[in-house]
Amino acid sequence: MNTSTQTLAQPQSAPAWALFVRRCTDYVSQDFLGGPRPWKFAWVINFQKTGTFFFLGLLMWYYQNSSPAAWIYLAMHGSYGLVWFLKDMAFPDPNWQKRITLGGGINAFLFVLGPYWLFGWLLIAGVSKPVYPLPEFAWYCLCLTLCMLGSVLMVAADAQKYYTLRLQRGLITDGVHRYIRHPNYLGEMMIYGSFAMMAWHWLPVLVLAWVWGAVFAVNMVLKEASMSRYPQWAAYKQRTWWLLPWVL
């Protein structure tokens, strides 16, 4: 476990564009219209995550779709939601424990979390009629592999962060953070990328572009600005990659 307890330096300034986008998304998803804050952000997230299994099952019943693709998608996306819930029960992310307004929770579901359900609807309802680049069995194998590896990477990264910081505050530079600086986001991108590959439609691409650009990328940029206050940051940044080893 490599962490820093040395005197902190002045962090680098976060880019103005990232701060602006964060203010906008925070207002829309947490503070919209003001008023009482009846629920935690985590409750909204967990409702969507755990509800995915049942939502997809309902779609399969409604559209009478029992194809291998539908069952595989249910196993992938539905199980991921249950894995997320178990993770949140075991080591909850403090960022999701804040209370949000009624309007903020509705917006978070409608504009960030809910659109993920479109992936399964496209496939199960038959709107998307995918012609995969590889034979179906090979494509299913690829998607399942991405989903499983992404889930393990996401859970491992969040667990390492949660339990390490409970013992000692500082910059985490070992474990799954040894070579990439944002393994939890990489895991999430692998997971949702696998769902989009199963649907094989242009709409999931737009959804992922919106979430990855306005939420994931902004969070990573602001996180790096915050981590720059640690003395080891310069050396750690120089020897690691943002997301993908040897790529970026």
d(CA 44, CA 95): 13
Cβ proximity of 204 and 119 under 8 Å:
yes
d(CA 39, CA 100): 6
Q: How confident is the model over 57-85, as a mean pLDDT?
A: 98
pLDDT at 5: 47
d(CA 31, CA 161): 27
The token duo for 146 is 């991405």
1 pLDDT higher than 60: no
Sorted by where each begins, the domain ranges of the chain are 16-230
Can you say how many angstroms the Cα of residue 117 is from the centroid of all Cα atoms in its chain? 14
Q: How confident is the model over 90-113, as a mean pLDDT?
A: 96
pLDDT tier, 245 (very low <50, low <70, confident <90, very high otherwise): confident
The CA-atom distances, in angstroms, between 118 and each of 58, 128, 131, 243 are 14, 11, 18, 26
Question: pLDDT tens for residues 111-141?
Answer: 999 999 999 999 999 999 999 999 999 999 9
Amino acid 21 reads V
Coil/strand/helix, residue 230: coil
Q: How confident is the model over 31-40, as a mean pLDDT?
A: 96
Global pTM reads 0.93
CB atoms within 10 A of CB 173: 20
Mean pLDDT for all residues in the chain: 94
Amino acid 27 reads Y
The token duo for 210 is 């919106």
32 pLDDT higher than 60: yes
- DSSP output for 180-245: BS-HHHHHHHHHHHHHHHHH-SHHHHHHHHHHIIIIIHHHHHHHHHHHTTSTTHHHHHHHSBSSST
Can you say how many angstroms the Cα of residue 186 is from the centroid of all Cα atoms in its chain? 8
Task: Determine what percent of the chain is predicted with pLDDT higher than 70.
Answer: 96
pLDDT at 7: 61
pLDDT tier, 102 (very low <50, low <70, confident <90, very high otherwise): very high
pLDDT at 150: 98
d(CA 196, CA 205): 7
d(CA 146, CA 135): 17
6 pLDDT higher than 70: no
Higher per-residue pLDDT: 2 or 139: 139
